[in-house]
Structure 1
Amino acid sequence: MHKYILRRILQAIPLLIVISIVSFALIKLAPGDPVSSFVTPDMSPEDVERIRQNMGLDQPIYVQYWHWLVNMLSGDWGYSLVNHRPVLTLIMERLPATIGLMGSALFLSLLISVPLSMYAAARKNKAADKVLSLISYIGISIPSFWFGIMLIYLFAVKLQWLPSMGMRTIGVNSFLDVVKHGILPCTVLVFMNVSVYMRYIRSQTISQLEEDYVQIQYAYGSTTGTVLVRHVLKNTLLPVITIFGMSFPELIAGAFITESVFSWPGMGALGITSVFALDYPVIMGITMISSVMLVIGNLLADILYGIVDPRIKTMK
């Protein structure tokens, strides 16, 4: 297994380099000039050019990329053009908020979607299955920002049960206060995730229920619940593992739209702010850390495949 993990890590290095090159090129080709953030009306063209030289933007793009790559590998991720602070410091400050929100949403999504999907599959084309499928289609169809605004209007404005934005109440420093602020954004993420996850897991469960080993268990007198929990569940975990691997980058990158709607001080909100402000160093930092987490998520998924189903030979 150690050789397999090492080989996957070595294979990921060229992939990350390609991602960094493409991302860097796209950012440089995007409209807008980061120098404009520092320009004032009384500046002369010579002053503007001097700022451009100090930022290294007067050099060819491949030279700029090389300097960025060397600095990043040495731990210097650059400075934010907006906050004038180290990019790595900004990311580490926002990371706990994103991990808390996204981790809770992912855990609750899997906890809810797995039993609901298996329940719907066991009652295929019956009333319960049709209701859950309808809810799933609604969750897939509606925009997350609209759903978030509706929740804010109902629970924060009308009923005044929950706070509408932020992570903490000013002057209050308690875990319960953080939980109250996280209920609405977490609800949006869970509803959207469960709606998508149910389609994968339900489909896999239905295919497993049609297998011969399930019919044999029924012939032995096993109940539907016993067959689902003891036999079908293990094979149904494969799409769950795939979902986990795909969702792993979100634990770091955050949910851009949801965090912006609820003013959640995480990586997603930082990313949106950086894009609109043309804060290229922060954008590159978030892009690269998300890419690394995607590679790690896929690696963990492959390892879990081999653990859940030994027939999948991924460790050799």
Structure 2
Amino acid sequence: MRRLIFRRLLQTLPLLFFVSIACFVMVKAAPGDPVLSFVTPNMHAEDIERIRHNLGLDKPAYVQYFLWLKECLTGNLGYSLINHKPVLDQILERLPATAGLMGAAIGLAVLIAIPLGLLAGANRSKLVDKLVNLLAYIGVSIPLFWLAILLMYFFSIKLHWLPSMGMRTIGMDSAFDVLLHGILPCSVLTIGFLAVYVRYIRSSTISQLKEDYVQIQYAFGSAKRTILFRHVLKHVLLPVITLLGMSMGDLVAGAIVTETVFSWPGIGSLGMTAVRGMDYPVIMGITLFSSVMLILGNLLADILYSFADPRIKTTR
């Protein structure tokens, strides 16, 4: 197991290098100039060039990249071009808000998707399967920003049940207030994750019910519920582990659209602000940080595979 972890960590180095190059090239190719956010109508050309020099944007692109990469290797992701704060400090400051929101959404989606997927797969082509499929298709097809605006309109504007924006009410500092603010964005994200998870679990359940061990359990007189939750569930969890590993990047990057609609102070809204202001260091820092988390999530999924399926551990 240690050899597997060490080998996978070594494989991440060239991958992160490629991700950093691709992100840097795309950021540089994007239209816009971050210097323009500092320009005033009465500013002279010499002053504009001085600002460009102070920001290090007058150097060739490859020089800027290697200077940034050198700082990253020391744990310094640079400074924001807009507010001049350390990029890593801003990411860590907003990480709890994003991780809490995304973690709650993913956890709820998994808890709901497992019984729904098992139920739909065990009753293939029946009414319950058609209903679950219909809900899953709606969840996959519906734009999350439209769903967010719809929920905000009904539950905040019309019914006045839940707050519409932000993470806390001004003057209040309680966990219950944060919970109320998180219900709507968490519901939107949960619906998005749930639609995908249900489809995976249903498909895996259908394929597992055709295996020989299920027929043997039926021959022994085992009940259908017992077979589903005691035997089939263990094999169905394998694709769920893969999905959870792929969702690790979302814990950092967050849902940019959802956080922007609800003004949730997470990393997603920070990234959106950086894109609007052409804040290169913040964009690069968020991309690199989320890539690291995605790679670690896939590594964690591989480790959990070995525990969930002993055959994989024996092969390795």
Taking structure 2 as the reference length, what is the TM-score of the superposition?
0.98
Amino acid at match of 1:150: L
Contact 1:4 1:315 in 2 (8 A): no
Structure 2: distance between partners of 1:18 and 1:315:
30
Runs of 4+ with deviation above 3 angstroms: 313-316
Amino acid at match of 2:193: N
Residue number in structure 1 paired with 2:285: 285
Amino acid at match of 1:56: G
Structure 2: distance between partners of 1:289 and 1:193:
22
Structure 1: distance between partners of 2:60 and 2:119:
59
Residue number in structure 1 paired with 2:222: 222
Give the drift of 1:75.
2.4
SS at structure 2 position matched to 1:200: helix
Give the drift of 1:31.
0.8
Structure 2: distance between partners of 1:146 and 1:206:
33
Contact 2:71 2:77 in 1 (8 A): yes
Give the drift of 1:104.
0.5
Cα RMSD of the aligned pairs, angstroms, is: 1.1
Residue number in structure 2 paired with 1:136: 136
Residue number in structure 1 paired with 2:186: 186
Structure 2: distance between partners of 1:256 and 1:168:
19
SS at structure 2 position matched to 1:311: helix
Contact 2:145 2:261 in 1 (8 A): yes
Amino acid at match of 1:35: V
Structure 1: distance between partners of 2:57 and 2:269:
26
Residue number in structure 1 paired with 2:167: 167
Contact 2:307 2:313 in 1 (8 A): no
Do structure 1's residue 98 and structure 2's residue 68 form an aligned pair?
no
Give the drift of 1:167.
0.4
Give the drift of 1:314.
7.9
Contact 1:169 1:177 in 2 (8 A): yes
Structure 1: distance between partners of 2:39 and 2:14:
38
Residue number in structure 1 paired with 2:81: 81
Contact 2:35 2:48 in 1 (8 A): yes
Contact 1:121 1:129 in 2 (8 A): yes
Give the drift of 1:25.
1.3
Structure 2: distance between partners of 1:4 and 1:315:
12
Structure 2 stretches of 5 or more lacking a match?
Answer: none
Contact 2:167 2:264 in 1 (8 A): yes
- Equivalenced residue count is 316
Give the drift of 1:82.
1.8
Do structure 1's residue 274 and structure 2's residue 274 form an aligned pair?
yes
Of 162-171 and 85-94, the range deviating more from structure 2:
85-94
Do structure 1's residue 27 and structure 2's residue 27 form an aligned pair?
yes
Of 292-301 and 67-76, the range deviating more from structure 2:
67-76
Of 269-278 and 137-146, the range deviating more from structure 2:
269-278
Structure 1: distance between partners of 2:38 and 2:146:
35
Structure 1: distance between partners of 2:42 and 2:180:
48
Aligned pairs for 1:115-134 within 5 A: 115-134=115-134
Residue number in structure 2 paired with 1:56: 56
Give the drift of 1:84.
2.2
Contact 2:137 2:195 in 1 (8 A): yes
Give the drift of 1:250.
0.6
Give the drift of 1:160.
0.6
Structure 2: distance between partners of 1:235 and 1:40:
62
Amino acid at match of 2:68: W
Give the drift of 1:22.
1.1
Contact 1:303 1:314 in 2 (8 A): no
SS at structure 2 position matched to 1:81: coil
SS at structure 1 position matched to 2:312: coil
Contact 2:205 2:236 in 1 (8 A): yes
SS at structure 2 position matched to 1:103: helix
Structure 1: distance between partners of 2:26 and 2:130:
44
Structure 2: distance between partners of 1:215 and 1:120:
19
Give the drift of 1:38.
1.1
Residue number in structure 2 paired with 1:296: 296
Give the drift of 1:50.
1.4
Give the drift of 1:207.
0.4
Amino acid at match of 1:117: G
Deviations 1:226-275 (A, max 9, x none): 00111100100111001001101111111111111111100111111111
Give the drift of 1:315.
7.9
Structure 2: distance between partners of 1:135 and 1:257:
22
Structure 1 pair 191–314 and aligned structure 2 pair: CA distance change class (3 A):
farther
Of 254-263 and 34-43, the range deviating more from structure 2:
34-43
Give the drift of 1:59.
1.1
Structure 1: distance between partners of 2:81 and 2:57:
13
